[in-house]
Structure 1
Amino acid sequence: MTLLIPAVWYRARAIIERRWGWSPVEEEVLLTLRERPGTSASVAVELGIPRQVAEAAVSRLMRFGLIEVRIAPEPALAMTEAARAHLLAGRSLPERAQRREMTVSLVFDKLGGSVFRRREVVIKPVNKIPKGAMIVDFPNSDEAETDSSMEERVRHLLSSSLRSGEVFAMVRANLSLIENRFIHLDLVRARDGALPEGASDALRATVREHLTSGRLPSARPSQPARPACLDTPIETTLAQDQVVFGGGDHLARLEEVVNAARSDVFVLSTFVAAQDDAKARHGQERVWAALERAVRRGVRVHLFFGSSLDDEGKHMRAMGELQNRLRAAGAGVAAHLEPVHSHAKIIIADDGVDGGRALLGSCNWLRSPFRAHELSIELRDGAVAACLDLFAAITAAVPTARDSRDALQAMRTALRLKPGRLLDATPTEDGIPATLRIIAAPDHLPLLRRAAHDAEERLLVMTHRMGSPMIQNVFDPAQVASERIETVQALYSVPSGEVKKRDVRAAGEMGGGSIELRKIQSQSAMLHGKALLWDHDDIVVTSFNWGSQTASEDKPLDEIGLHFKGDGIADILQKILETRVLTRPAEADGAANS
C-alpha cells in the first residue's frame, strides 16, 4: 500500500559563512608596526615570539589590507593608513569572514510541513502514478513556493549539521530547481512507525489518523512565509541626498537611477497610467522614455502593479500598452499583467558598476504626474539586498514572474557576495550611521503609538488622507503625546470616504487645540507623502496612509515602511518639511493618487 503525499523538491547552492576574530599575536604585531616600520624578524625579536609565528601573522594581516610594504626610505613593513585611521578612532579590528558553498537538496512535504533531505524519501514526478496508490492532491489556491520561501526551510535543515562557528547565510538561487513531486510513503512500514527521518509531528498524526479511519487526508495551502528582511535590522547610513521630496525630485531621481542601470530595473507602482492619460502625461512621458532608453541598452525591465481595485481592468490594459511600447525598443521587457495586491511603491536597479539602488516611499512611479509633495528614501548597496528579498516576496504570487524573480535573486546574490572591505570606509560628512528596519503593514500603528509615548520633544505625522480611522489611528496617539510635549503636528491633504473637512477639524480640536493640524492642499500642490518622525533620531517613510487605513496581520506586505534610527536623522526630514511645506506655499500643481 502506497500513499502519495504532495511535496516540493528544491535544489540549490547554499552559502555558508564562518566568522572569527583576530588573535592577540596578530594585534600585537599590528600595534608594533604602528609605532615604527620593520620586518617580520624585528617584530619577532621585539615581541619575543618565534619568527615563523610573526611571519604567519604578518601574512594574514597583509592579506586583509592591514599591513603593506613600503619601499622608501627603505623597504619595510608598515601599517596601512586605513588600519591606522581605524585604530586611532578607537575601534577594534572587525571579525573576518570566510564563505563556502554546498549543494542542498530537500523535499518539503505539503501535507505535514516536514522538511526532508532528498536522500531520506522516495519521490517521483507527478505524472508517474503507480497503480493502486492513494493520492493526496496538491491543495487548491496554494501559494507558489519561491526561493525566498524555501530559503527558510534550507536554514532549518542545515541548522544542526554545520561545522562549529558556521552559520547559514543565503542560497545562490539563480540556478535553483523547484518542482512539484509526490513522496511515496509505504503504509505497511508506516503502520509500524517507520517514517522518514525528519517527519513532522503533524505528518505522523495525519498518517496515524489515516491508518485508523481510512479517510484520505487533505493538504492545506501553505501560509506565505514572512520575509526575513522584516525581522532583521540593517546597519546602514543615511545622507540628506537620499531623502527625496517633491514630484520633480522624484522624476529626476527615477531618470538618474534608470539611466545608470546596466543589468536590471524593477518597478512596482500601485497604479499604471494609460498611454493617452492626459493627467499623467506631464511626467510619464519622461518615465517611459527613460525605460525605453534602458531597454535599448540591453537592460531588462521588470514592471509590476499593485492595485486589486481594477474591476474594469484599466491598469492591466495600461500595463499591456506600456509593454507594447517598450517591446518596440527591445526584447528585455517583462510587464506583468496581474496585480500583486500591495500598496507599496518600489524601484530597484543595479547602479551600473557592482552595486544597487532602491527607492521606496509614496510615489506611484507608473502613474504619477510628479506634481505632488511625494516622499521616498533611496537605499544603496547592502540595504538593497533586503529590498530585493522584499520585492520577491511581494511579487511571489504572480505566476508569470518566475524569470523576474530569478533576476531578483541573481542581483541579490551578487550584492551579498560582493567582496567587502575589512575596515569600514571613512563615512561621508553628511552620512549618518543608522539602523534600518523594514516595517510591515500591521506594524505601523503600534509603532506610531509607541512613538507617541516615547516622544520627549516633538511628534509629526504626515498622511495623504484622513478617513474614518483617523481618531484612533492619529488623533488619539497625538493627544497622548501632546499631554507631555509642546510640538505635535499632523499634516494631511484630503479627507477620505464619508469624512469631510469639518470632521477632520473637529477631531483635531478634541485635543484642546494642542495638536497643530495642517491641511496641505491648494491649487498648486497637495501632500501625497506619508511619514512619521519623533524627537531627533527616528523617522518612518512609508506607503501607509496613517489617517485612513487599517492593516491586517494576514497581509503584512500590503504596506511597506522604512524606520531609520540614528543621531539627528529626524532633523534632516524636519528641515526639508519646514523648507518645502511648512513655511512657504507649495509651488507645483497638486494632482496625486493614493
Structure 2
Amino acid sequence: MTTVQVIFPVLKGSRRFIIERGRRWSVIEHLLLDAVSRGAASAADLAKQSSLPRRVVVEAFIRLMRAGWVEITATSRGPLFQITAAGASLVHYEQLPSATVREPRWRGFAIEQLSGSVYRGRELDLYHKNQIDSHVGENPVVYLSASDAHDLEDMGEVFTTIEGEDEIIIGVDRGSEKLAERYAVVTVKDGEIDGLPGRAPEKLRNAILKAASEISARLAENGKTSAPATAIMEPVEETPAATPSAYDPTDLIIDGEDHWRSLDRIISGASERVIIHSTFISDERAAAVLPLLLRAAERGVTIDVLWGQDDLGSSTRSSQVAAAKMQAEIDTAGRTGSVRVHPFSTNSHAKIVFADSQKGWNVLVGSCNWLASDYKSFETSFRLREPILVGQLMKRLAGLSQGRPGVWNNFAIDLAVLGRRIMDMPSPKGRKVPMRLLYGAEHARLVLKARDEATRRIFALSHRIGITAESLTLLPSLAAVKENGVEASFFYGRTTGPLSGEAGADLVRTFARSGLKVKPIQRPRIHAKVLGWDDDHLAISSLNWLSADPSEGKPYKEIGILVNAPKIADNFMGHFAHVMPP
C-alpha cells in the first residue's frame, strides 16, 4: 500500500488546573472497614466472605492501619483485624475522608475535531496550517474535515485525559485565551497508523484508514504513486449503549398537574443545588415558580436558571427580557447570590430540572417549559435517577453553558466538575431497566430503529406538525406499516411554519389512505413529545417529532431519554386514550 499522510484539525490549549492529589479510599476498603466494625475478623475469614483474594484484603488493611482506623489484636484464634475508635467515627460516612492536597498545575491538551477525543499536550504532532507543507514529503496527503458535532469541547473529557494517577481536577483558573487551531499529521502504511496514540477511538482510526485506503486506490487506478488529495470525513452513525438504570413506573410524569407537583417536590426536596433549563421564560410563570425557589434559597440551596430561546428565532427575545425581570425580583428579595438567572441563551430546546436530594440526584427530562408552562397542557417528562446518566447530562449542560469554544466560564467549569462527581456516585438500589440519553440527530436515527423493530405499533405525540414530518417520522413509519403490518398513530396540537392548517389537513388525508393515522388534537392541548413502539419502548424528549429537524451540528439542541421497560409504552397510551376525546 502507498504511504499516505493524513491531516486532521485539532484544537490545542493549556489551562491552569486546580488538582487534588492523593489516593482516595475505594469502595472495597470502605466495605472492609464496615465489616470489622461489626466484629474483629481474620484476613482469611474476610477474604472468604467477600470472595476477594486474600492478598487484596491484606493490602487494604495495611492502608487502613496506616490511617489509624484499624489495628491488629492477638486472640486465641490468632491475629485479627479490629476497628479503632477513629475508624468507628468515620465508617458511617458516605465516603471516607482522603488525605489529599490541592495544588495548581499548568497542563496542555489537544482535542481532535472529528470524534472529539482528547489527548495530552505532546501525544500528537501538531502544526500551524502554515507549517504543514514543510512537514509533509512527497507522499499523498489527505485532509479530513472537522465535524460540526464537536464544535464545543467536552470539559469533562479534558479533565479525565490530563489527570494523573491519584489526581482529580476540581477546578480551573478561568482563562480568556481561545483554543488554538492546529493540525495533527499521522502516517498510514500497510494499514498501520503511525503517530496516533493507541487509545484513540475506533471512529477516528477508521476515518483515517478509510481516507488513506481511498486515495491509495485512486492513485493505483491512475498509475501514480504520489499526488496530493483531499478527503472529507463522512459522519459515522454510532448508537450509544443503553445503561441499566434505576426505574419505577412513577418516574414517568404525565399531564400538566403532575408536572407542577413534580417541580414542587424536586425543588422542595433539594438540600444543596437546583438547576433549571427552560426553553422559554414568561413573566407570569416565573412569578408562579419564584416562591418555590426563594423558599429553597432560605434553606441554603443554590439555584441556577438557564433558558434556551434561540437568539435568532425571535426579534423580541422575550425570554431574555423575562430573565432580567426575574433576576431583578430576586435581587429585591435579597437572594442575589443564591438564585442566579443567567442572562445568556444556550440556544437549546431542552427542558431539564436537576436537583440533589437525600437519596441522590434527580433530573426531570421531557417536554415541559418549566418557567413558561401554565401546566394545563398534556405534557410528558421522565424522572431520571441513575447517577452515571445524570452526570453525563450535567456535563452536556456544562457544554451548553460555556459559550464559544475554549471560553470556559466559572459556571460551566462548576457544572463539568459536578457532573463528574455525580457519575461516581453509587447507583440506587432496586429495579433496573435499559435507558440511554438522546441528543440531537440521534432522535432521527431512533425513528429508523422503531421502523425496523416494531412488530405491532408505532406512535408519536408532537406539539407541532410541519413540513419535515414526512421525511423524519411519517415515511419511515409508513415503511413499517407496509412491510410489517404495524399500526401507526400520530397526534399533534397545531401546524407550524409554512405548513398551513389546510395543508396539514391534506397531509392527514394523504397518509390516512396509506394506513397511517395522523390526528390533530385540540383538547387536551398536546405539548408532549413522545415516540414509542410496541409495549416496552418509550422515548420522552424535547423534540417535536412531527416538525423539528434534529441537526448533527447542534447535538444538544434537543435532549431526551429512551426507556425500555415492561409495558411502559402500553401504559402511556392507555393514559393518553383516557384523556383524549373520542
TM-score of the aligned structures, taking structure 1 as reference length? 0.63
Residues 363-512 of structure 1 correspond to what in structure 2 (within 5 A)? 363-382=368-387, 383-397=389-403, 402-418=409-425, 420=426, 425=429, 427=430, 431=431, 433-483=432-482, 484-511=484-511, 512=513
**Cα separation, partners in 2 of 1:453 and 1:488, compared to 1, 3 Å:** same
- Give the whole-Å Cα distance in 2 for the aligned partners of 1:378 and 1:54: 39
Deviation at 1:398, TM superposition (A): 7.6
State the partner residue of 1:583.
578
State the partner residue of 2:227.
none
State the partner residue of 2:129.
none
Contact 1:230/1:437, CA 8 A, preserved across alignment: no
- Give the whole-Å Cα distance in 1 for the aligned partners of 2:408 and 2:554: 20
- Give the whole-Å Cα distance in 1 for the aligned partners of 2:27 and 2:401: 39
**What is the letter of the counterpart of residue 478 of structure 2?**
Q
**Cα separation, partners in 2 of 1:249 and 1:584, compared to 1, 3 Å:** closer
- Give the whole-Å Cα distance in 2 for the aligned partners of 1:506 and 1:182: 51
State the partner residue of 2:544.
545
- Give the whole-Å Cα distance in 1 for the aligned partners of 2:325 and 2:374: 18
- Give the whole-Å Cα distance in 2 for the aligned partners of 1:263 and 1:359: 17
State the partner residue of 1:328.
332
Name the SS for the 1:315 alignment partner. helix
* 1:294 and 2:300 correspond: no
Q: Deviations over 1:345-375 (max 9, x none)?
A: 1111111x36211111111111111110011
Deviation at 1:17, TM superposition (A): 10
Name the SS for the 2:376 alignment partner. coil
**Cα separation, partners in 2 of 1:481 and 1:117, compared to 1, 3 Å:** closer
Deviation at 1:416, TM superposition (A): 3.5
Deviation at 1:558, TM superposition (A): 1.1
Deviation at 1:271, TM superposition (A): 0.9
State the partner residue of 2:515.
514
Name the SS for the 1:292 alignment partner. helix
Unmatched tracts of structure 2, length 5 or more: 1-10, 29-34, 66-76, 78-97, 126-147, 181-194, 201-234
Q: Deviations over 1:138-157 (max 9, x none)?
A: xxxx99999x7344345455
State the partner residue of 1:125.
none
Contact 2:276/2:305, CA 8 A, preserved across alignment: yes
State the partner residue of 1:240.
249
**What is the letter of the counterpart of residue 318 of structure 2?**
K
Contact 1:462/1:532, CA 8 A, preserved across alignment: yes
- Give the whole-Å Cα distance in 1 for the aligned partners of 2:239 and 2:308: 19
State the partner residue of 1:204.
none
Contact 1:6/1:181, CA 8 A, preserved across alignment: no
Deviation at 1:395, TM superposition (A): 1.6
Deviation at 1:381, TM superposition (A): 4.6
Q: Deviations over 1:13-51 (max 9, x none)?
A: 3799999999xxxxxxx9xxxxxxx9869979x99xxxx
**What is the letter of the counterpart of residue 320 of structure 1?**
A
Deviation at 1:578, TM superposition (A): 2.0
Deviation at 1:510, TM superposition (A): 3.5
**Cα separation, partners in 2 of 1:498 and 1:183, compared to 1, 3 Å:** closer
Name the SS for the 1:463 alignment partner. strand
- Give the whole-Å Cα distance in 2 for the aligned partners of 1:459 and 1:99: 55
**Cα separation, partners in 2 of 1:402 and 1:509, compared to 1, 3 Å:** same
Name the SS for the 2:554 alignment partner. coil
Q: How many residues align?
A: 440
- Give the whole-Å Cα distance in 2 for the aligned partners of 1:110 and 1:55: 40
- Give the whole-Å Cα distance in 1 for the aligned partners of 2:169 and 2:27: 29
TM-score of the aligned structures, taking structure 2 as reference length? 0.64
- Give the whole-Å Cα distance in 1 for the aligned partners of 2:403 and 2:179: 24
Name the SS for the 2:343 alignment partner. coil
State the partner residue of 1:107.
108
User: Of residues 311, 315, 319 in structure 2, which corresponds to 1:315?
Assistant: 319
Contact 2:354/2:364, CA 8 A, preserved across alignment: yes
The sequence identity of aligned pairs, in percent, is: 20
Deviation at 1:7, TM superposition (A): 3.9
Contact 1:466/1:547, CA 8 A, preserved across alignment: yes
Contact 2:390/2:423, CA 8 A, preserved across alignment: no
Query: Higher mean Cα deviation, 375-384 or 356-365?
Result: 375-384
Q: Deviations over 1:448-467 (max 9, x none)?
A: 02211211122111111111
* 1:252 and 2:286 correspond: no
- Give the whole-Å Cα distance in 2 for the aligned partners of 1:572 and 1:328: 45
Deviation at 1:470, TM superposition (A): 1.5
Name the SS for the 1:574 alignment partner. helix
Residues 20-99 of structure 1 correspond to what in structure 2 (within 5 A)? none
Q: Deviations over 1:385-406 (max 9, x none)?
A: 1221121112221899934334
- Give the whole-Å Cα distance in 2 for the aligned partners of 1:492 and 1:343: 18
State the partner residue of 1:136.
none
- Give the whole-Å Cα distance in 2 for the aligned partners of 1:340 and 1:475: 30
**Cα separation, partners in 2 of 1:152 and 1:450, compared to 1, 3 Å:** same
Q: Deviations over 1:428-462 (max 9, x none)?
A: xxx4x222221111111121022112111221111
Deviation at 1:53, TM superposition (A): 7.8
Contact 1:442/1:552, CA 8 A, preserved across alignment: yes
Q: Deviations over 1:478-519 (max 9, x none)?
A: 211212134221111111123244433433443435223332
Deviation at 1:57, TM superposition (A): 11
Contact 2:529/2:540, CA 8 A, preserved across alignment: yes
- Give the whole-Å Cα distance in 2 for the aligned partners of 1:230 and 1:559: 16
**What is the letter of the counterpart of residue 445 of structure 2?**
P
- Give the whole-Å Cα distance in 1 for the aligned partners of 2:56 and 2:549: 63
- Give the whole-Å Cα distance in 2 for the aligned partners of 1:267 and 1:414: 19
**Cα separation, partners in 2 of 1:53 and 1:404, compared to 1, 3 Å:** closer
- Give the whole-Å Cα distance in 2 for the aligned partners of 1:366 and 1:54: 52
State the partner residue of 2:279.
270
Name the SS for the 2:449 alignment partner. helix
Name the SS for the 2:345 alignment partner. coil
Contact 2:14/2:106, CA 8 A, preserved across alignment: no
**What is the letter of the counterpart of residue 442 of structure 1?**
A
Deviation at 1:286, TM superposition (A): 3.4
**Cα separation, partners in 2 of 1:154 and 1:482, compared to 1, 3 Å:** same
Contact 2:327/2:341, CA 8 A, preserved across alignment: yes
- Give the whole-Å Cα distance in 2 for the aligned partners of 1:183 and 1:358: 32
State the partner residue of 2:95.
none
- Give the whole-Å Cα distance in 2 for the aligned partners of 1:394 and 1:545: 20
**What is the letter of the counterpart of residue 476 of structure 2?**
P
**What is the letter of the counterpart of residue 411 of structure 1?**
L
**Cα separation, partners in 2 of 1:149 and 1:111, compared to 1, 3 Å:** closer
- Give the whole-Å Cα distance in 2 for the aligned partners of 1:471 and 1:336: 37
Contact 2:457/2:488, CA 8 A, preserved across alignment: yes
- Give the whole-Å Cα distance in 2 for the aligned partners of 1:235 and 1:369: 34
- Give the whole-Å Cα distance in 2 for the aligned partners of 1:17 and 1:259: 36
State the partner residue of 1:206.
none
Q: Deviations over 1:407-436 (max 9, x none)?
A: 424533442344x38xx83x2xxx4x2222
Contact 2:466/2:546, CA 8 A, preserved across alignment: yes
Query: Higher mean Cα deviation, 387-396 or 358-367?
Result: 387-396
